[in-house]
Copies of this chain bind each other. A is one copy, B any other.
């Protein structure tokens, strides 16, 4: 919570009471006009779950829904960063503005990824049609997927035509992040070893386009065969078989084919309200997450604070308190009349 002069948001905006924050409309107007410092500021406030977060997102919301969101996921070492760089450049070449969110849940421990990304995007810092942000927040109230969704919304409101959301894909959190996207690319490389099956299976269902990167390496044919083999088992896309595009991101080979596949997928999504369907599914999951977080926030204001939980946790760990009975009692208390906040 590192908001400085900002005051609280009104309760109907998810704030903790107090008067409406006069800086919210101003900040959003500034980020809408292309002010990069205001954009960075709003993202930081949202990332840190500042009191005005809901008011800021609510003010951004009417200016969203027009950007194409592309998720890029794959295992470490698949060359996602280079691929995202190339994609960003190819969209910039067609005069589309680009926002990049690079999510790395593993980096808070070393800080390496954030430093790396600062260096990575350094040469683009004077391009007004480009903005990149690294995210590695763990432990926020709503979780990493929800924070990424919020940051994506802010970037969209700033007028970016395309969002590239890059994540290391294996765990459930990463799959959730990939699901923020309208189009999801799953990046694989030849020669990942025998257990590549188990890794692919989890992301198989969310892939709209497979990218076999570093495709000059031995084994590219085999990876493509494995993808096709797993697809025949899963059949999550009965109406559309995701294409497999081979690239060498370091040289740019295959990038025009990938851009064409993205274009084609976008056209397909716009037919028969498919894009609307996907976004509805996205919002259904997100509403559920938002409601959980908001309920917990209110419950905390009703006495579920950290100190109390720690006291109870000690008693549970030493066998003096049954946690299921405790949870029933605590939630009962929150819902009891007179406790409504």
Which residues of chain B have C-beta atoms less than 8 A from A76's C-beta?
170, 193, 195-196, 198-199
Q: How far is the CA of A236 from the CA of B110 in the complex (A)?
A: 11
Q: How far is the CA of A36 from the CA of B55 in the complex (A)?
A: 54
Q: Does A287 contact B (CB under 8 A)?
A: yes
Partner of A58 from B55, B296, B324 at Cβ < 8 Å:
B324
Query: How does the 8 Å CB contact mask read for A218-252 relative to B, with 1 for contact and 0 for none?
Result: 00000000000010011010000000000000000
CB <8 Å contact, B198 and A168: yes
A190 to chain B, nearest CB (A): 12
Binding stretch for chain B, among A158-166, A264-272, A307-315: A307-315
Q: Does A331 contact B (CB under 8 A)?
A: yes
Q: How far is the CA of A276 from the CA of B319 in the complex (A)?
A: 11
Which residues of chain B have C-beta atoms less than 8 A from A313's C-beta?
280-284, 287
CB <8 Å contact, A322 and B58: yes
CB <8 Å contact, A287 and B309: yes
Q: How many copies does the complex hold?
A: 2
Partner of A197 from B112, B292, B295 at Cβ < 8 Å:
B112
CB <8 Å contact, A77 and B110: no
A312 to chain B, nearest CB (A): 6
A148 to chain B, nearest CB (A): 12
Binding stretch for chain B, among A9-17, A25-33, A85-93, A123-131: A9-17
Which residues of chain B have C-beta atoms less than 8 A from A286's C-beta?
323
Q: Does A187 contact B (CB under 8 A)?
A: no
CB <8 Å contact, A106 and B199: yes
Q: How far is the CA of A295 from the CA of B335 in the complex (A)?
A: 9
A201-B106, A281-B313, A317-B280 given; A335·B327 CB < 8 A: no
A171-B171, A287-B316, A317-B276 given; A338·B337 CB < 8 A: yes
Which residues of chain B have C-beta atoms less than 8 A from A287's C-beta?
309, 312-313, 316, 323, 326-327
Closest B residue to A276 by beta carbon equals: B317
Which residues of chain B have C-beta atoms less than 8 A from A282's C-beta?
313, 317
Q: Does A72 contact B (CB under 8 A)?
A: no
A171-B173, A296-B291, A335-B340 given; A109·B283 CB < 8 A: no
CB <8 Å contact, A291 and B299: yes
CB <8 Å contact, A323 and B283: yes
Q: Does A279 contact B (CB under 8 A)?
A: yes
Which residues of chain B have C-beta atoms less than 8 A from A5's C-beta?
none
CB <8 Å contact, B14 and A328: yes
A-B CB proximity, top 4 nearest: A171-B171, A106-B202, A76-B195, A77-B195
Residues of chain A whose beta carbon lies under 8 Å from any beta carbon of chain B: 11-14, 54-55, 57-58, 61-62, 64-65, 76-77, 104-107, 109-110, 112-113, 138, 143-144, 168, 170-174, 192-199, 201-205, 230, 233-234, 236, 276, 279-284, 286-288, 290-292, 294-296, 298-299, 304, 309-310, 312-314, 316-319, 322-332, 334-341
7 A-B residue pairings within 8 Å (CB atoms) = A12-B332, A13-B328, A76-B198, A77-B192, A77-B196, A105-B172, A171-B173
